[in-house]
């Protein structure tokens, strides 16, 4: 065998080894790339799912916030209407005819006069109250109408003013009034 044949055999064997190593490396590179692609797809899917969940949560929060704002606005509007109704009731009471005022005062005094010794009213009703009551007239108070009856030493004070009666009725019937107005 000649030197050339030995060199050729060595070269052929080296070439075969290089080809084998190249194909193993290509296979390993392909495997690594495939694994990397699979990991990338998995990570992308997880992030996409998380992003979709985040979007759903944000959307739900926005909807809840908008619903809450609508309810708040509606409640404020209802409150404003109920306040207007209350103001209209005050105006109606302040515009009672003298005859109606006297009839109401007569009923209040006759039902409650026995509970005290002094009576108060607003300045407009002073003469009517003095005429209708046998109690000592103790002075004027600032109110829409009605009377305040007090015992001798002032420890018991019964407030039958239209203001207090209206406020009491308003508080007691607020839900019913709201239901009538707003269903």
Residue 125's pLDDT is 94
Residue 3's pLDDT is 75
Query: Is residue 18 domain-shared with residue 71, that is, in the same domain?
Result: yes
Per the structure, the complete domain to which residue 51 belongs is given by 1-95
Query: Is residue 55 domain-shared with residue 89, that is, in the same domain?
Result: yes
Residue 1's pLDDT is 54
Residue 182's pLDDT is 75
**Token pair 């009725």 in the structure block, residue:** 169
Nearest residue to 122 via CA among 150, 94, 100: 94
Nearest residue to 86 via CA among 179, 160, 171: 171
**For residue 161, what are the β-bridge partners?**
146
* Spans in the chain with pLDDT lower than 70: 1
Query: Is residue 108 domain-shared with residue 83, that is, in the same domain?
Result: no
Residue where a domain terminates, one of 46, 75, 95: 95
Query: Is residue 52 domain-shared with residue 131, that is, in the same domain?
Result: no
Residue where a domain terminates, one of 56, 78, 95: 95
* Model confidence, pTM: 0.63
Residue 180's pLDDT is 80
Number of domains in the chain: 2
DSSP assignments along 49-65, one per residue: HHHHHHHHHHHHHHHHH
How many alpha carbons lie under 13 Å from residue 109 in its C-beta half-sphere?
A: 26
Residue 47's pLDDT is 93
Query: Is residue 19 domain-shared with residue 77, that is, in the same domain?
Result: yes
The C-alpha angle with vertex 69 and arms to 176 and 76, in degrees rounded to 5, equals 40
């Amino acid at each position: 065998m000649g030197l050339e044949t030995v060199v050729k055999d060595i070269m052929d064997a080296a070439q075969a080894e290089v080809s084998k190593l190249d194909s193993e490396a290509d296979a390993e590179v392909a495997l690594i790339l495939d694994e990397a692609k699979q990991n990338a797809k998995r990570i992308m899917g997880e992030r996409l799912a998380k992003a979709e969940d985040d979007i759903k949560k944000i959307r739900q929060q926005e909807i809840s916030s908008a619903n809450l704002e609508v309810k708040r606005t509606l409640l404020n509007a209802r409150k404003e209407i109920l306040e207007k109704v209350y103001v209209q009731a005050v105006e109606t009471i302040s515009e009672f005819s003298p005859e109606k005022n006297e009839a109401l005062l007569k009923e209040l005094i006759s039902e409650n006069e026995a509970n005290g010794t002094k009576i108060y009213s607003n300045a407009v009703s002073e003469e009517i109250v003095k005429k209708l009551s046998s109690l000592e007239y103790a002075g004027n108070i600032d109110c829409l109408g009605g009377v305040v009856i007090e015992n001798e030493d002032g420890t018991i004070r019964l407030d039958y003013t239209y203001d207090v009666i209206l406020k009491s009725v308003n508080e007691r019937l607020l839900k019913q009034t709201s239901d009538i107005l707003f269903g």
